[in-house]
Amino acid sequence: MSEIFSASVIISILTSGIRLATPYLYAAIGETFSQRSGVLNLGVEGQMLLGAFVSFYVVFKTENLWLGLLSAIIVGALMGLAMAFVTVNLQAEQGISGIGFYLFGLGMSDLLFKMLLGTVETVKGFSVVPIPILSKIPVIGEIFFNQNVLVYVAFLLVPIAWFVLNKTTLGLNIRSVGENPEAADSVGVSVVKIRYFTIILGGILSGVAGASMSIALLNVFQQNMTSGLGFIAVALVYFGAWRAWGVLAGALLFSMVQAIQLRIQIIDSISLSPDIAVMMPYILTIIVLVASVSRVRAPSALTKPFDRGE
Amino acid sequence: MKKNLLVILVLAFALLLSACGSAAAPAEEAAPAEEMPAEEIPAEPFKVAIIMPSSITDLAFSQSMYDALVAVQEEMGGESAMEIVYSEGMFVVDDAAAAIRDYASEGYDLIIAHGSQYGSSLQEIAPDFPTTSFAWGTTLNTFKDEGINNVFAYEANSQEGGYVNGVMAASLSKSGVIGVVGPIQAGDADLYVKGFVAGAKSVNPDVEVNVNWIGSFSDVALAAEAANTHIGAGADVLTGTAQMVPGAIGVAEENGALWFGTQASQTSLAEDIVVANQVYDWTVVLDEMLANIKNGVYGGEAYTITLANGGLVMDYNSAFDLPADVKAAADAAVEGIIDGSIEIPVE
């Protein structure tokens, strides 16, 4: 039993948790922006898959990681643009169209994979970059400052997102569009522009979330490799009560429990059925969600299309 | 109203594209180019359809069956003798059932449902098409007891190659810790892991074999993290089974740990660290099935691929410098399993 409390075990669990949390953070922070402006984007998973494939393929062909990342950003932005057109201009039902975009991304990444690669390949992805000095701090250095660059950026995004949403005019506009678009519109805030911005930003971050898997953490592409991760990211936004720090807490909780269950399975002194172990992160998340979120209100205009009624 | 119409159009387009990606396109791709010269039209080609959970290029379970079909097709004389169509990515059993019924209605001679999750669908569909052969695996249940006579079953004794891999893994491990990344504890994955553990313990009873079941056949990220967990626990040799292992192989490579593969050859993913693979070669099963069908027997037989019948093949990575004594131990294990002197406990 004491095995699990040794320093090396704890370090390896926390390091695993940080890595696992990375794609969730990108996707969920992006989703936070679009939901705060009143748009539910259920296409995250599809955006991630396309971002993952395109960045992987570009790196596979050019061996240029930054070009790969850029291509994921572009693909994500284009998917976001299409989503914005459908939900803002055409005022489509957001849940249904989001699922449409998910299926599109799933099918399209699959099709491209078959046409362009055909089989599972590997690339040399972003490698671990220890941060000078900080990475030398015992325990903490190893956990937080010995990761690849996309992991660092994911965690930096949290304070940035918090700052933008709460301390800038842009953030105020996003929030007001999500709470009361008519009022925002009457004082000259363009609901259309704001929503285009947040949905495209969400698309970009989802694309990067995919890239963080295919060219940084795993360095392979497989069909449907996100396997539901994008939907969990959407759930994490609710879990985090539409706040960046809440999303971070949710992503870390989920990922840490995931890392713990992987570890518990291989500790001899604890015999836990693997079926129970793999359920742990989900059960815990549901419990925390029920216990904490019920008193927080979603943005009032979430999922409601805006029509100026001219 | 106009807006709604546009939305529906956009959605329909998206759905259409995604449908092309997952199911429809491959079926057409499968019967490609090379036109049959008109004068040669012999008897109707033998028509085979296969439904599988992952893709034909998964370097694992689905690919093993597809490759075998292509090999048999070549043996028989190419596309004029045998036609293959496939539906891949059929992880939704209801969709698979619809595909099975479609192929049966279209007059396919043999329909292979490549996954144990498709059993109940076959049980329902097979009686409606008594002169069509169906096959499924991995299982030994042909539904003969339920009075169904046109279903074949096939299984892999994956514990055999697992044992051989385990023998080598324990011989090569310096730390005495070995990690296993499994999907869901069932079927041939479970057999493989049991064999692997038994093989490792036969060399060194004190070796620590840590097994992790991640609860998914597709979660590449979790498979990678499971491998990281093993590395963190001191493992220097890893193995794993099912189509989500490429994530784990990448982690093994990064950390200089060795890898043992199963189902198909995974050497191409990491030539420096893959030692050996147990490869499934279903051609022996397909040959027997086809011979039976020719003689009017449409089902009722169950087949098992083993090291003895050549359905399981040990494939060594020629780029990996395997010490001669370890190779000899592996060969001895193969012989022992074939002649029955080694018995692998799998309950």
pLDDT class of A1 with cuts at 50, 70, 90:
very low
Residue B5: band (very low, low, confident or very high) from pLDDT cuts 50, 70, 90: low
Measure the CA–CA gap between A126 and B204, rounded to whole angstroms.
Answer: 38
How much is the pTM? Answer: 0.85
Q: For residue A273, what pLDDT is reported?
A: 85
A235 in Cβ contact with B261 (< 8 Å): no
> What pLDDT, on the 0 to 100 scale, is given for residue B225?
95
Where is average pLDDT lowest: A82-86, A236-240, B328-332? A236-240
B48 confidence band (pLDDT: 50, 70, 90): very high
Q: What percentage of residues in chain B have a pLDDT greater than 70?
A: 88
Q: Do B247 and A92 touch (CB under 8 A)?
A: no
Q: Calculate how close chain A gets to B157, using CA atoms only, in Å.
A: 23
pLDDT score of A212 more than 50: yes
Common-topology check for domains B18-28+43-157+282-305 and B158-279+312-339: yes
Residues B325, B171: Cα–Cα separation, whole Å: 9
Q: Would you call A12 and B18 a contact, using CB atoms and an 8 Å cutoff? A: no
A175 touches chain B (CB under 8 A): no
Q: Looking at the predicted structure, is the pLDDT value of residue A2 above 80? A: no
Average pLDDT, whole number, for chain B? Answer: 88
The domain locations on chain A are 23-239
Q: Which residues contact A3 (CB under 8 A, 6 or more apart)?
A: A9, A267, A268, A269
Residue B112 contacts residue B49 (beta carbons within 8 Å): yes
B154 sits in the region (left: phi over 0; alpha: psi -120 to 50; else beta) called: beta
Tens digit of each residue's pLDDT (9 = 90 or more) over B67-93: 999 999 999 999 999 999 999 888 889
Which residue, among B328, B280, B311, has the nearest Cα to B167 in the 3D structure? B328
pLDDT bin (cut points 50, 70, 90) of residue A107 is very high
- Tokens 């109940």 sit at which residue? B120
ipTM computed for the complex: 0.87
Of the given ranges (A3-17, A169-183, B250-264), which has the lowest mean pLDDT?
A3-17
What residues of A are in contact with residue B183 (Cβ under 8 Å)? none
Cis peptide before B138 (omega within 30 of 0): yes
- Cβ of A262 within 8 Å of Cβ of B7? The answer is no
A252 touches chain B (CB under 8 A): no
- CATH number, domain B18-28+43-157+282-305: 3.40.50.2300
* Cα B246 from Cα B263, distance rounded (Å): 13
Average pLDDT rounded to a whole number, residues A80-98: 94
Q: Is A220 on the interface with B (CB under 8 A)?
A: yes
Q: Which of the following CATH numbers is that of domain B158-279+312-339: 3.40.50.2300, 3.10.20.30, 3.30.70.270, 3.20.20.70?
A: 3.40.50.2300
CB < 8 Å to A259, chain B = 225, 229
Q: How far apart are CA B33 and CA B108, in angstroms?
A: 21
Buried b (16+ CB within 10 A) or exposed e, A73-103: bbbbbbbbebbbebbbebbbbbeebbbbbbb
Q: Which among B275, B277, B302, B278 is positioned nearest to B288, based on CA atoms?
A: B302
How, if at all, do strands B258-263 and B237-240 pair? Answer: parallel
Å from B118 to nearest chain A CA? Answer: 21
Is residue B49 classed as helix, strand or coil in its secondary structure? Answer: strand
Contact A86/B at CB under 8 A: yes
Inter-CA distances, B147 with A35, B127, B128, B143, B298, Å: 56, 9, 13, 7, 13
CB atoms within 10 A of CB B105: 12
Residue B167 binned pLDDT confidence (cut-offs 50, 70, 90): very high
Domain ranges of chain B: 18-28+43-157+282-305, 158-279+312-339
Segment A124-153 shows an average pLDDT of 91
Q: What is the mean pLDDT of residues A198-211?
A: 98
Kindly state the average pLDDT of the residues A231-249: 93
Would you call A266 an interface residue with chain B, using a CB distance cutoff of 8 Å? yes
The answer to whether the beta carbons of residues A7 and A209 sit under 8 Å apart is no
Q: Which residues in A lie closer than 8 A to residue B249 (C-beta atoms)? A: 122
Residue B31 has pLDDT above 70, yes or no: no
A139 inside 8 A of chain B by CB: no
Q: What is the pLDDT of residues B319-344, one digit of tens each?
A: 999 999 999 999 999 999 999 999 99
Are B210 and A86 a contacting pair at CB < 8 A?
Answer: no
Q: Is A9 on the interface with B (CB under 8 A)?
A: yes
pLDDT, greater one: B13 or B141: B141
